[in-house]
Amino acid sequence: MRDQAVKLVDKYLQSEHLIKHSYAVEAVMKALGEKLEPQKTDEWAMAGLLHDLDSDLLDYKNNAEESRLHGIKTVEILKNENFGNEYIYQAIKAHNEDENGIKRESVMDKAIYAADPITGFITAIALVYPDKKLASVKVKSVTKRMKEMKFAAGANRDAMRSIEDLGIPFAEFAKLSLEAMQGISDTLGL
Ligand SMILES: [Fe+2]
């Protein structure tokens, strides 16, 4: 299953930052899945890896209609490619609930909403260090930076903090996410 998903990433994503972001969200979702729904860890990982698959095809930062389609378009692609299932599709569509109105329902839907922004946030923290390495980042720096609203101002803190609705304290989420990203630091180049 993963081999095919990696081929889809290679086929549809060109932007270096989106490719790295996809692998980072995969790693965090896999770790969250192991904790929250161990029997479905593969689906959690695939939802993470593929959630932004349409992002090089849509100008969703500047175009309201295309931003509404973000997620919906990915599911269209996956169906055409005969990949995935409804459980994965729903999480991918609902990760963009803020724009497309498709509600987050399952625990996985809610988890990806928090996992998506924390990867960029942790990356931004790593880049502050002289060596720009994830190995230099401490859990404490993540929790501290959460309160500095000027730091990585675009990172959606409410979304990241919503992990607590699933019974995971934020500091634990920060640790799990940091360790998951450190585990693929070569892929992330950090
Ligand atoms: Fe994303």
pLDDT tens digits, residue range 9-25? 999 999 999 999 999 99
Separation of CA 21 and ligand 1 centre (Å)? 7
| Nearest by Cα to 95 from 116, 65, 77, 120 | 116
Q: Distance of alpha carbon 175 from its chain centroid, rounded?
A: 15
Distance 131 CA to ligand 1 centre (A): 25
Over residues 69-114, the pLDDT tens digits come to: 999 999 999 999 999 999 999 999 999 999 999 999 999 999 999 9
Query: If you measure from the C-alpha of residue 54 to the centroid of ligand 1, how many angstroms do you get, rounded to a whole number?
Result: 10
Check whether 62 has a pLDDT greater than 90. Answer: no
Q: What is the pLDDT of residues 128-167, one digit of tens each?
A: 999 999 999 999 999 999 999 999 999 999 999 999 999 9
For the chain, how far is it from start to end, CA to CA, in angstroms? Answer: 27
Q: Separation of 89 CA from ligand 1 center, angstroms?
A: 14
The count of domains in the chain is: 1
Domain limits for position 160: 2-188
pLDDT surpassing 80 at residue 60: no
Element (H, E) at 33: helix 16-36
Q: What is the CATH number of the domain that holds 63?
A: 1.10.3210
- The DSSP element (H or E) to which 11 belongs, if any, is helix 2-12
pLDDT above 70 covers what percent of the chain? Answer: 100
pLDDT in tens, 20-53: 999 999 999 999 999 999 999 999 999 999 999 9
Whether pLDDT at 61 is above 80: no
